[in-house]
Amino acid sequence: MKKFTICASSTYDVITGHDIVKDAGAYIREVLEPCRLCIITDSTVNSMYSQVLLTSLIESGFQTSKIVFPPGEHSKNLSTYTNILEALADEGITRSDAIIALGGGSVGDIAGFAAATYMRGIRYIQIPTTYEAAVDAAYGGETGLNLMSGKNLVGAFWQPSLVLCDYGYFDTLPEERLKDGAAEAMKFAVIAESSLADHILAKDYPYVVERCISIKKSLIETDERCYGLRQILGFGHTIGQAVEKLSAYGLPHGHAVAIGMVAESKAAFRTGLTGVDISGELADIFARLGFDTRCCYPVDEIYNLAVMDKKIFGDKISVVVPERFGKCSLHRISISALKEYIREGLK
C-alpha cells in the first residue's frame, strides 16, 4: 500500500494497493465520521464489485444506499445527472453525508459533478475500477457531463475527500479496457517521463499508476483549475475527443486519445511549432500496444468539434507541443490556424 497526499483547495490522500477495497470502510472512517454513504455506479460495475464495498462500509458503521445507471459514455448526460440528484434527495442525503463514485472515468465524472452541485456541494470519494481512471481521471477534481455539442462541456472542479486505487480490479478487466488505460498512461510518458513507456509496455500496472499520480499531483498543486501548465494533460485530447464524439462514443476514450496524440505530435512538427517529430515513434509504441492510430474522419468535422475544446480562451487555443519524447510545452495558436493544424496532423 502506498499513499500520496494532494494539496489543492482541499487536501486528500490517494491510496494505492492490491485488494484494499475490502478495507474501504476503515480507510473512509479516517476521513469521515459515520454518516450515510451513497454509492453511485453503473450496472456493470455494480454486479461485479459493489457487494464487497457495501460489506466493508456497513461493518465500519456507515449507512449505505446505491444509485445505479447504464454503463458507458452515453449515460454521462444531463438526464442521468438529473435522475441522480432526484435519487439523492429521495434518499434524504444531506450535506453531512457523502457520495462514493465506484467505477471508471464516466462514473467518476458524473458522480463527482453530482457531489459538486447537490446542496451546493457534498463530500465524495473516488474508487476507480479501471486502469484508465486510476492513472488520471480519479483524482484532480475534474468532474463533468457531455452535451450534444461535445464532451465534458458541463462540469466543475470539486476535489474528492479520498481516492482508493485497488489494483485487484485490473485482474478482472478485459484486454480492451486495459489498453485504454495504457493509452492514457502514454500521455504521461510523452509529457513528462519517457522511461514510463517501457513500464506501460511491460504491463507494470502499480509502477505506472503511481508514477502518473506523482506527475499529476505536481500539476494539480501548481495549477488546480487548469488555466496554465495543467493543460498539458490535454495532450491528444483536442483531436482525440472530437474523434470520440464523431464515433458516437463507439470508439473508447483511450483509443481516441491515442489517435489524437499521434496526430497532434505530427501537427506540431508540420506547422513548425517544434523541430522534433515524435509521431512515428509514438505510432510504433501504440501499434505494439494493439492500437490502430489512423483517423478516418474528415478534417472539417473534427475542426467543428475541436473549436469547443476547453483549452480555448478568447480567439486562441492552447496546444501541447512535444519538445522531445518526455517533455512538452504549451503553445497558443489562433482558432483560425486550428483547422490547418488538424489538417497537417491527419496527413
CATH number at residue 277: 1.20.1090.10
User: Which structural domain range is residue 71 located in?
Assistant: 2-172
Do 243 and 98 belong together in one domain? no
Q: Which three cell numbers stand for residue 279?
A: 509521431
pLDDT at 213: 98
Which of 141, 172, 203 is the last residue in one of the domains? 172
Do 65 and 148 belong together in one domain? yes
> E strands of 18-94, at which residues?
36-42, 63-69
Do 209 and 326 belong together in one domain? yes
Do 273 and 134 belong together in one domain? no
Which of 172, 206, 235 is the last residue in one of the domains? 172
pLDDT at 232: 97
Whether the pLDDT of residue 154 is over 90: the answer is yes
Whether the pLDDT of residue 177 is over 90: the answer is yes
Specify the DSSP class assigned to residue 235: T
| Position 66, amino acid | K
Do 187 and 275 belong together in one domain? yes
Arithmetic mean of pLDDT, 24-36:
97
Question: What total number of domains does the chain contain?
Answer: 2
Residues 146, 71: Cα–Cα separation, whole Å: 14
Do 189 and 166 belong together in one domain? no
Phi, psi for residue 257 in degrees, rounded to 5:
-70, -30
Do 153 and 288 belong together in one domain? no
pLDDT at 311: 84
Do 179 and 289 belong together in one domain? yes
Nearest one of 136, 83, 89, 81 to 112, comparing CA atoms: 81
Which of 123, 139, 172 is the last residue in one of the domains? 172
- Domain of residue 17, CATH code: 3.40.50.1970
pLDDT at 309: 85
Do 214 and 296 belong together in one domain? yes
Tens-digit pLDDT profile for residues 118-131: 999 999 999 999 99
Phi, psi for residue 141 in degrees, rounded to 5:
85, 5
